[in-house]
Amino acid sequence: MTFGHLFVVNGRLDSLSADAVVIPTDAWFAVGNWWRDTLGLGPGNTWDELRPEGWARGAALPARQKPSDDSVPEVWFLDVVAGSPSEVGQAALRVVEAIVEHSGESLIRSAYSAGRDLPLIAMPVVGTGAGGLGRRRGQVIAALVSTLRDAADRLGVDVALVASERSDYAALQHRRRDTGAPVTLIDATVAEELGQRVRRGEVALFFGAGVSIAAGLPSWNGLLTELVHRLGLDEIKDKIEKLGPLEQAELVQVTLAAARGAESAGSQAELGRLVADVVQDHAARPSLAHALLASLQVREAVTSNYDRLYERAVAAAHGTGTEDDSAVDVLPWARTSSERPWLLKMHGDVEHPESIVLSRSSFVHYDSRWKPVGSLVQSLMLTKHLLVVGASMTDDNLIRFAYEVAGLRETIETTGHGRPEIGTVISLAMDDAFSRLWEGRFKVVAPQLGVGVDGPEPVPRAEGPAKAREQREALERRRAARALAVFLDVMAMHAVRESPYLLDHRYADGRDDETARLVDDVNAVASRARTQVSDDAWRLLVQALEAFGARHSGPSTPRAACPPPSGTA
């Protein structure tokens, strides 16, 4: 039997690649316009165009037609108006069951095409908006975690519960942590330890192409193949396969220069523009790995990727929409701010095509152009625990930075202290030689799922040994990618450092009387402290209490569910 997994991410539905998404509405099919971006609806489109046939109270049905945007997954609508939190949980269960029954085979094809081992169904924290139970969020969250976790197990699909509010995200993670994770992750203890390090602010991120490939971007070989095709360089197709990765790109650049009669610098700039075009043509929505990494809210990150998918995921987690809203400072072009996280683009960025580092010559000249970038990467290696995700650790520059830092540490007296590892590499496959190579410098972890957790075996086909080998390799990549996602999810569950729901009356239901009185008392203190607005010390106290959810609302006694406002769902 194949078990699915319940993922929790902080973000937006339109910033997550999935196979199906659930849009909440009501019996009258009143859908909030904030869901238009999720479905890629243009200004001329109406909700009636998507209204399912036979829509009625309690319905869970697919959209009448698929939106024209190819990046939009299969769309389902769910009547989420309910009289109790348990009914919301049952509604969520109902729509997952309906999706699997109606679209099981097509979802599997969609998942395999995207490099996922199981279909991924994404939905918001339903029932807490105009669904009527916004003031009973604690019980709604408990019901959703329980029913969706069981549904994923029983139906063999992955479900992503997407929380746009950080308080919902924190409450979901605390709920999951308290009730235990259902999936057997062999490396769960390592994931928990890393999550705790994130919570203490000790971790910096380094991520590579393995994170973006799951979002539909080409691998290094795929990128070069597409470049050769777009440039019409048929004469080097056979030659390029015999070279190493950097030499392959160098051959493309040299051939391009000869064909254009351009200097090396000019051909490198043109190659950068072409790479940016390929990446932007493929970049649709952030992968689940992007969303999970962004949910960690790590302040410092480095990437060898050119795309902007991580920036979009961070913007979604911060509630600012798209990457254009400057939710993250992109270095080296921007200056850092104390209010925002930053991301260092080590090998360039699609918004700055001339900066893209791809060929052997661009790597050779890296130090003369980008030496301060390398210094910043090494400063993170010295001051933080570097978590490497989706990177093969074969990048010449990264290897050199790591060896220089390790060499420095080996020459420094460390009386009374061990030499700490530079960081942890989350690898897609265990390789004893690779682990031995980095022993004492990086801890290498290859996440593995327990028996019965991997996806179904593909149906054997008699297409010859080469095709069978290709299918087996694709299966291994999908399973490794899913194990990585589950590892990141377990890590994120233990990484939440804030508790913005603690004093929030919307999460008061289910608390004992003594705790409810304490919450009321602290909120009363916050309310009184707000009157001392002229005193900075009192203002700081109010800010601290508001970080734990102190609000301007009334007592924490649960209230009856309110009917949804007109025109929303």
Encode pLDDT of 3-36 as tens digits.
899 999 999 999 999 999 999 999 999 998 889 8
Residue percentage of the chain with pLDDT more than 70: 89
| CA 464/CA 560 separation, integer angstroms | 64
> Which pLDDT belongs to residue 229?
83
Q: How confident is the model at residue 274 (pLDDT cuts 50, 70, 90)?
A: confident
For residue 224, what pLDDT is reported? 82
Nearest-CA neighbor of 288 among 45, 19, 2?
19
pLDDT for 41 equals 85
Q: In this prediction, what percent of the chain has a pLDDT beyond 90?
A: 41
The answer on pLDDT for 421 being more than 90 is: no
- The pLDDT, as a whole number, for residue 392 is 76
Mean pLDDT across 433-455: 80
Q: Are 122 and 20 in contact (CB under 8 A)?
A: yes
Q: Is 375 exposed, middle or buried (0-12, 13-18, 19+ CB in 10 A)?
A: exposed
Write the pLDDT tens digit of every residue in 528-551.
Answer: 888 876 788 888 999 899 999 897
Grade residue 569 by pLDDT with cuts at 50, 70 and 90: very low
Nearest-5° Cα angle at 30, 25 to 35: 65
Please determine, for residue 231, whether its predicted confidence score (pLDDT) is greater than 90: no
End-to-end alpha-carbon separation of the chain, Å?
37
Residue spans per domain, the chain? 6-184, 199-215+285-446, 220-279
pLDDT-based confidence at residue 200 (cuts at 50, 70, 90) = very high
The one-character DSSP state at 33 is G
Report the pLDDT value the prediction gives residue 248, as an integer from 0 to 100.
80
Q: Is the pLDDT of residue 452 over 70?
A: no
d(CA 446, CA 486): 12
The whole-angstrom separation of Cα 233 and Cα 219 is: 19
Q: How confident is the model at residue 63 (pLDDT cuts 50, 70, 90)?
A: very high
Cβ burial of 234 (10 Å; 0-12, 13-18, 19+) is exposed
For the structural domain made of 6-184, what CATH number should be given? 3.40.220.10
Q: How far apart are CA 438 and CA 427, in angstroms?
A: 12
In 3-state terms the chain splits into helix, strand, coil percentages (rounded to 5) of 50, 10, 40
Which candidate, 136, 125, 208, places its Cα nearest to that of 391?
Answer: 208
Kindly report which listed range (309-313, 464-468, 478-482) carries the lowest average pLDDT score. Answer: 464-468
Mean pLDDT of the chain: 85
Placement of tokens 């080097």 in the chain: 236
Distance CA 395, CA 249 (A): 14
- Which has more pLDDT, 493 or 363? 493
- The per-residue pLDDT for range 232-250, each reduced to its tens digit, is 877 787 777 777 777 888 8
Q: At what angle do helices 536-547 and 513-529 cross, to 10 degrees?
A: 150
pLDDT for the residue 157: 95
Cβ atoms within 10 Å of 563's Cβ, excluding its own: 10
d(CA 160, CA 166): 15
CA–CA distance, 95 with 85 (Å, rounded to integer): 16
pLDDT of residue 331: 93
| Sign of CA pseudo-dihedral 429, 433, 437, 438 | positive
Identify which of 263, 262, 261, 254 has the alpha carbon closest to the alpha carbon of residue 233. 254
- Considering the domain 199-215+285-446 in this protein, what is its CATH number? 3.40.50
Per-residue confidence (pLDDT) for residue 321, from 0 to 100: 55
- Beta carbons of 61 and 77 less than 8 angstroms apart: yes
Banded pLDDT at 262 (limits 50, 70, 90): low
Chain segment 378-401, per-residue pLDDT in tens: 999 999 999 999 887 777 778 888
pLDDT of 568 > 80? The answer is: no
